[in-house]
A and B are shown apart, each in its own frame.
Chain A
Amino acid sequence: MLNIQTRQEGSAAVVTIQGKVNFEVTAQLRDVIRDTVAQEQPKLLVINLEGVSFIDSSGLGLLVAARNSVDKNNGKLHLCSLPVQVKKTFDQTNLTNYFSIFATEQDALRGA
């Protein structure tokens, strides 16, 4: 099951995701990200993927869409703490070069 938590860190919003991100759960995740972007209008949105065991193409699509919606608000999206399996998926799809990816949440919050 997917576990999603959101919190504020100064002007940044942090979304922490745990579980398997696939087609079945994208609707739930999409709502959380959309609400966070719409309500907080964060300068920086950090998505912590440390607890994600698997991400499929629908999940990747969601993150791409998240980046686009944050971009539109002149904000930034930082991803952090990618587990090895998730990193592999990002590498394979070249998304490592599309997103700003940080090793830790602290780095992601500090990262310019």
Chain B
Amino acid sequence: MNKGVVLVVDDEPPIRDILSFYLKRAGYQVLLAEDGRKGLEAMAKLQPDLILSDLRMPEMAGDEFCKTVKGDPATRDIYFILVSALDGAVSRIGGLALGADDMIAKPFHAQEVMAKVESAFRIIEMQKEIKRQNQELTRFQEKVKGELELAAKFQMGLLPEIPGRANGIRYTHRYLPAEGIGGDIYTILPTQDGGAAVLVADVSGHGVTAALISAMVKTSFEAQVRLGGGPMDWAREMNRHLCASTLSEQFATAFLACIEPGRPEIRYVIAGHPAPFRLHRGAAGGLHRPEQLGGRGFMLGIDATLPFEEHRAPLLPGDRLLLFTDGLVEVEREDRRLLGEDGLMRLSAELPADGDLAADQLVGQTRSFNHPVEFTDDVTLVVIDRVD
């Protein structure tokens, strides 16, 4: 069985013959050439695993041949052993500096050459194995990356189309997952009575697990809204659902709200989530005093028996709501300061009337505040203007 291909390059026929004899006997396929140029010609037909080359040859000497082989990306991984008399023309170190992998001094014993060849082939095999594993890893990595990209696209598809309109409201969002795919989710749905139901949630952790749970949170919310009731019922049932279907450390902070037609208010539950800001007449843009909605409550998914509280706040046509997840305000700067909710409130005081411009401005100013530190967690910002 063929143990590998060895190219022997030497201008002396007896040396070619003796090396060829030993190599063939040991099970290698042997290519022969009388100088570097002929060697390259032979290599064009069949690429060897190993080259044994003499240094002094009339046409393309061993040093030039070695440089040519090692300089070509297609052949540079071929193991190159330079065979040379150590007469001062070239030192061992000099030969290795040419890029040769090893050297054999002339005159040599055939056994020494064979021992070097055997050891070289052990290295060659190892290199091949590493290369193969590398390729496998790269393939795997690309596959995972591709799947993540698909999942991220799918997740983006779960978000409402923007800018959007539902019963009595106009909305837009900025959604920036930390790892391509994230644990933040938000949705806006029309309710049976002609109003709008709003959810912003942030599942603990990030990455794939958080993303899977976030999709579940969204589905659970949609199911609850379809059943009717209000934010309090939705929060209680979603909490029960999440407790039953996730592990002990996984839960979600959420803001759940409904805006009913003809009622100048918003009903909401805060489940461990940063409370949104309300800007009275903020939909017209300009300078306003943001107020943070009151109330607090447990996160969803901690304990099925925990109680939730429903709150109400005024929300009139022309008012604006800013909903966000903590990733927007909890970036630690180099001086260890955080923007925080207070900082975001200051930035929210003067915004353009257009929701998309307002969202861009807020995200932009938050980024400048953190600069050069980037967002580290999933970030969601939702701008809702009441228009009815």
Contacts from A to B (Cβ < 8 Å) = 23, 26, 30, 54, 56-58, 60-62, 64-65, 68-69, 91-95, 97-98
Contacts and interface: CB of A to CB of B under 8 A. Distances in A.
Contacts of A94: 272, 296-299
Contacts of B298: 93-95, 97-98
B202 interface: yes
B204 A57 contact: yes
Interface stretch (B23-31, B143-151, B228-236, B248-256): B248-256
A77 B296 CA distance: 23
Nearest to B330: A56
Given A61-B250, A93-B296, 18 more contacts: A26-B249, A56-B377, A57-B205, A58-B249, A60-B299, A61-B251, A62-B249, A64-B303, A65-B249, A68-B248, A69-B248, A91-B296, A93-B253, A93-B299, A94-B298, A94-B299, A95-B272, A95-B298
A61 B306 contact: no
Nearest to B246: A61
Interface in B315-332: 326, 330, 332
B251 A64 contact: yes
B302 A98 contact: yes
Contacts of B205: 23, 57-58, 61
A61 B377 CA distance: 16
Interface string B311-349: 000000000000000100010100000000000000000
Contacts of B306: 98
Nearest to A63: B249
B274 interface: yes
Interface residues of B, number: 22
Interface in B196-236: 202, 204-206
B204 to A, nearest CB: 4
30 contacts: A23-B206, A54-B332, A56-B326, A56-B330, A57-B204, A57-B205, A57-B299, A57-B326, A58-B205, A58-B249, A60-B204, A61-B248, A61-B250, A62-B249, A64-B249, A64-B302, A65-B248, A68-B248, A92-B274, A92-B296, A93-B253, A93-B272, A93-B298, A93-B299, A94-B272, A94-B296, A94-B299, A95-B298, A95-B299, A98-B298
Contacts of A92: 272, 274, 296
Interface in B261-307: 272, 274, 296-299, 302-303, 306
Contacts, number: 58
Nearest to A24: B376
Interface string B73-114: 000000000000000000000000000000000000000000
Contacts of A64: 248-249, 251, 302-303
A29 B212 CA distance: 24
Contacts of B272: 92-95
A75 B331 CA distance: 36
Interface in B331-384: 332, 377
B1 to A, nearest CB: 49
Contacts of A98: 298, 302-303, 306
Contact of B204 (A61, A69, A91): A61
A65 B204 CA distance: 13
A54 to B, nearest CB: 7
Contacts of A91: 296
Contacts of B299: 57, 60, 93-95
Contacts of B250: 61
Nearest to B203: A57
A56 B296 CA distance: 17
A54 B332 CA distance: 10
Nearest to A85: B338
A8 to B, nearest CB: 25
B253 A57 contact: yes
A54 B27 CA distance: 66
A47 B50 CA distance: 63
